[in-house]
Structure 1
Amino acid sequence: MGVRERADAVAALERGLVTERGGAARGPRVVRGAAGGGVIPGLALAAEAATAVVAALLGAALVESALTALVAETSALGAGLLAAEAALTASTGLAG
């Protein structure tokens, strides 16, 4: 076995695709191969999906926070307009 073939065999073993004796990986051997630095099939996809879900939830929380701040600001502006209207009404009543 040449250097290239050996490197390919080691890489396949680390990825959990083959057992130490060259057979196809099944069952706990895949996990054991993954413990050596390989990948459990589907784990990367599950991790990416979980990351996307967390990012979506964080994004939704940021949108909710921004909308809440906007509603609070609008309420404050509305209260300011009501106060200004009341002041104008009072001053008009005093002048008239």
Structure 2
Amino acid sequence: MFPTGCDGWHLGLNKTDNKKQTAAGFYKSRLQIHHEDFNIVFKEKKLTQQYAVDQWVKVEAGRLDCVRRNIKTLRAEKYQGRMDAVQAGDVNDVGVKVILPSTI
């Protein structure tokens, strides 16, 4: 699909403004239609569908890995909040609000 061997997304990839490029942002850009540029991705028909699915899986795996890496921290904070509430005698406000990514 990429005969010149152009790179895909990888850790440490930077945007033009030197900020980190996320996998989701990179593939959103890659899968947009740019009328002024030739985009090989849209010329490959069924291979385009497989490419989009493969990249979606890569992005979701990264998001799940992030939650998996931070779950111990989230659990520790939640447990400590419960212990503090029990010791203070205020069991009505037990728990910690945890906001997971919208894709989970």
Q: Please report the TM-score for the alignment, with normalisation by the length of structure 1.
A: 0.34
Q: Please report the TM-score for the alignment, with normalisation by the length of structure 2.
A: 0.32
Which structure has more relative contact order (CA 8 Å, sep 6+)? It is 2
Structure with greater Cα Rg:
1
